[in-house]
Amino acid sequence: MRNRLIIATISLLALAGCSPGSLGSSDEDGKLTLTFLVDNSAESLKPAEALAAGFTAKNPDITVDVESRPQGSEGDNIIKTRLATGDMTDVFQYNSGSLFQALAPGQNLAPVTDQAFAGDLDENFKATVSADGQLYGVPFNASMGGAILYNRKVYAQLGLTVPKTWAEFMSNNAQLKAANIAPVIQTYQDTWTSQLFVLADFHNVSAAEPAFAADYTANKTKYATSPAALKGFTHLQEVHDAGYLNSDFASAKMVDGLAQLASGKGAHYPILTSVVTSLAADHADTIGDIGLFALPGDDAAKNGLTVWASAGVYIPKSTEGAKRDAARQFLAYIASPEGCAAFAQAGPPSGPYMVKGCTLPADTPQAIKDMQPYIDAPGGSSLALEFLSPIKGPALEQITVEVGSGIRPAADGAALYDQDVKKQAQQLGLPGW
């Protein structure tokens, strides 16, 4: 009787011990299930489902289960906690660049440097998912641009031309305002959308000060003291002070901004091109009217596009044995023209793909096609600062909302952001801070 009790207790404990980690393991007939964690936005879920379906069609023995997590900083914490407790899915999607560096890749991720597909990746992308000389990820979907989406129909009606300098942009704005069209759309209920005047201006910053990214990481230059970098903040204040914003800028959300742009009630919307997917889905009849130009700076000759690298797909160290092999196969599929085709099937790309041999489909929206000339021109584009430096302050979106709403002057906002960045640099243990 006593022995039976002990056996019962031990088997109970054993049962309890093998909970989440072993879910989705291989079953008897040699079939394997990979779990794949992506963020819960439509722009990520749809492509992830398409990848899973395409991969299983090619490898009938491996099924991919897509799981979702919240976006933004809440999602960051879920990723970090699951990695720290060894409870991560078999493969997962996450940002490249500075956020990727914060995952302590050497400690938590399995490198894929020696895999055949490593040679097929875009060099810029490889730099954003590498740490200590090891490569850790493949690109999830296309790259994107941070730029101004504009209504081409409105431009044609008023006879405006695409501006290359800030002065030209402001004179376009004056004419738009006179025609009773909101010149610049801002949507501060989705706070992240307020950062584009600063972040997407980075090509202009690095054109004026080529060493900015390195100096910035080494604490030798700051937003408040670099004349080129400060421009992003002053521009944001200028459009507010001149009364160029849509009247509901403080209460509008990103979807409202897209609707205003598509209907021609607003003319310019500085935003990331990832929104073109929702624009194409919700405003299919007017998507052809929407074009794109890079944020104008001081020098027309040096004007160019700021590009965001794709997010990455990574394998955590906790994925072992047969599953790690299957996971590598899955990554190889993502980093192939077939993978790009699966992405394209899920929705229009937000920019060029970062895998060699992938091309844009013929029905790509005009706004995305407008990116190509910048990317083809030598020196016409650069990666955003968050891919060249591991530091990005978490409070930028609140600061840009304040500057863009006239609550805080530009210079003050830039100085505040420099303080915010310091915490991030210290947390990462960078030298010089």
Partner 1 sequence: MVTRSPYPHWFYLPAAVVYGVLFVVPTVTSFWFSLTRWTVFDSTFVGLDNFVTFFREPALVKGLTNTLIYGVVTSGLKVVLGMLLAVLLTSQIAARGWLRSVVFFPVLVSTIGIGLTFTVLMDPVDGLINQSLAVWGISGPAWLTDPSWALLSVALVDVWKGVGLATLIYIAGIVSIPAEYFEAARVDGAGAFARFRSITLPLARPATATVIILSLIGGLRSFDLIWAMTRGGPGFTSDVIASVIYKQYQAGFYGLSTAGNVVLFVLVTAIVLPLSRILNRREVEL
User: Could you list the residues that contact partner 1 (CB under 8 A)?
Assistant: 72-74, 76-77, 80-81, 83-84, 102, 104, 107-108, 188-189, 191, 248, 250-251, 394-395, 398-399, 401-402, 405, 407-408, 416, 419, 423-424, 426-427, 429
* Residue number with CB closer to partner 1 (11 or 426): 426
* Residue number with CB closer to partner 1 (16 or 362): 16
Tokens encoding 235: 């521009």
| CA 255 to chain CA mean position, Å | 18
- What is the nearest approach in angstroms of partner 1 to the Cβ of residue 217? 18
* Residue number with CB closer to partner 1 (107 or 225): 107
Rounded CA separation 161/212 (Å): 31
The phi, psi pair for 307, rounded to 5°, reads -115, 135
- What is the nearest approach in angstroms of partner 1 to the Cβ of residue 274? 21
- What is the nearest approach in angstroms of partner 1 to the Cβ of residue 384? 19
* Residue number with CB closer to partner 1 (203 or 240): 240
Residue type, position 53, single letter:
A
Neighbouring C-beta atoms of residue 389, cutoff 10 Å: 21
* Residue number with CB closer to partner 1 (11 or 40): 40
- Strands 91-94 and 311-314, by their bridges, are antiparallel
The answer to whether residues 258 and 283 touch, using CB atoms and an 8 Å cutoff, is yes
* Residue number with CB closer to partner 1 (302 or 423): 423
* Residue number with CB closer to partner 1 (21 or 394): 394
H-assigned helices in 90-165? 98-101, 105-108, 123-128, 152-158
- What is the nearest approach in angstroms of partner 1 to the Cβ of residue 87? 13
- What is the nearest approach in angstroms of partner 1 to the Cβ of residue 178? 24
Neighbouring C-beta atoms of residue 29, cutoff 10 Å: 6
Residue 110 to residues 17, 91, 157, 312, 354, Cα–Cα distance (Å): 25, 10, 55, 13, 21
Q: State whether the Cα torsion 332-337-340-341 is positive or negative.
A: negative
- What is the nearest approach in angstroms of partner 1 to the Cβ of residue 37? 17
- What is the nearest approach in angstroms of partner 1 to the Cβ of residue 416? 6
Tokens encoding 5: 């009790």
Residue type, position 221, single letter:
T
